[in-house]
Amino acid sequence: MRDVLILGAYGNFGKRIAEGLVVTGVPLMLGGRNPAKLDELAAFLRKLRPCALVKTVSIDADSDRELDCSLARLRPCVVVNTCGPFQSKDYRVAAACIRNGVNYVDLADGREFVRDFGSLDESAKREGVTVVSGASTVPGLSSAVIEHFRPRYASIDEIVHGISPGQRAERGLATTRAIFSYVGKPIEVAAPHEPARYGWQDAYRQDYPVLGARWVANCDVPDLDLFPRHYGIATVRFSAGVESCTLFWSTWLIAWLIRQGVPLKPARHAKMLLGLASLFDQFGSDDGGMHVILRGEGHDGKPLECRWFIVARQGEGPRIPTVPAIVLARKLASGHPLAHGAMPCVGLVTLAEYLAELGSFPITTFEC
């Protein structure tokens, strides 16, 4: 078993990826800018698994020279990059990994970032490495659900999916910045027949098992481009929300004002807005969910609709986006052969693998 280097290891997702890997004996290098936070996480992981092989590495992933030197010195098998928001990033970390013959996995959910990741394919194949973008809820889990139901369909024409985290679930600054980067802005649609969409608009109520009905609205994610290309799905709609109606409609109003031309820049104030959101925690729960609704034609020629839900309780929702990175990093570290090249995380993790990773947590799925 070879080393996995996690960049942003003490962040909201990085620490959960570290937990998921260390409990199965994967040797870890914890990377980040804050040595104190790295040491704190390493101590926690060693308590979780006393025989754990854990090192800490002070590293600035935004410095090309420092990153190249670190990769050449450390020689990890794979780098897991959690340093978002990826909407504002380029491919320098992935490119550095390719130059140094290191496999790479990231949790990006930025639409253009994941969609265009294939531009690295030729260099990745030349160096004999696997580099994967989007190892997260979208498109990692959403594509796993499609693959699970796909044999039931002659064709899938539409997917309507989205997430609604619990108010008290841990929220990351990078995720908050990512959302506010596109609220109120036009969202490109894949099919010419679809009406114009704008970020955090077109609100609707989605019913969830256990959770009840929650408001969700348009979000810009890689699935909007990837699923028409990979699965021939003509209509793709992804939405997200927050449990608090006050926060949801406040964000909707900000989006509406931006849509009308008011020059607001909420992403610049993401830290403050995140702090304000925490004031509402006492009025919400720590339970969240995801819905995936597929519509198309069955093999009998009749319309077919399948609905799939995952519900996380006790604040464990943030574990869900980490699973594809855990599964892929573990496979690469253990020598499991994966195709060389650069690719989005579409169909790379099965739903069975996904759910096996979540089996010890209060997370439940529903099909209908």
129, 119 contact by CB (below 8 A)? no
pLDDT tens sequence across 228-263: 999 999 999 999 999 999 999 999 999 999 999 999
105, 135 contact by CB (below 8 A)? yes
State in Å, rounded, how far the first CA of the chain is from the last one: 40
Segments of 89-142 assigned E as strands: 103-106, 130-133
Residue 108: HSE in the Cβ half-sphere, 13 Å Cα cutoff? 30
Per-residue pLDDT averaged across 3-16, rounded? Answer: 96
Question: CA nearest 312: which of 347, 278, 360?
Answer: 360
Phi, psi values for residue 213, rounded to 5°: -90, 140
> CB-based contacts of 40: which residues, under 8 Å, 6+ apart?
10
Per-residue pLDDT averaged across 326-335, rounded? Answer: 97
pLDDT tens sequence across 338-355: 999 999 999 999 999 999
Residue type, 133: S
Segments of 150-198 assigned E as strands: 153-164, 186-187, 197-198
Per-residue pLDDT averaged across 114-136, rounded? Answer: 98
328, 338 contact by CB (below 8 A)? yes
pLDDT tens sequence across 207-232: 999 999 999 999 999 999 999 999 99
pLDDT bracket for residue 1 (50, 70, 90): confident
pLDDT tens sequence across 25-79: 999 999 999 999 999 999 999 999 998 899 999 998 888 899 999 999 999 999 9
Structure tokens at 352: 């069975």
* Other beta carbons within 10 Å of 194: 14
Per-residue pLDDT averaged across 168-193, rounded? Answer: 86
Question: CA nearest 90: which of 58, 119, 70, 130?
Answer: 119
pLDDT at residue 202 tops 80: yes
pLDDT value, residue 62: 86
Structure tokens at 295: 């519509």
Q: Is residue 57 classed as helix, strand or coil in its secondary structure?
A: strand
pLDDT value, residue 153: 98
pLDDT at residue 191 tops 80: no
What domains, with CATH codes, occur in the chain?
4-137+318-359 (3.40.50.720), 138-312 (3.30.360.10)
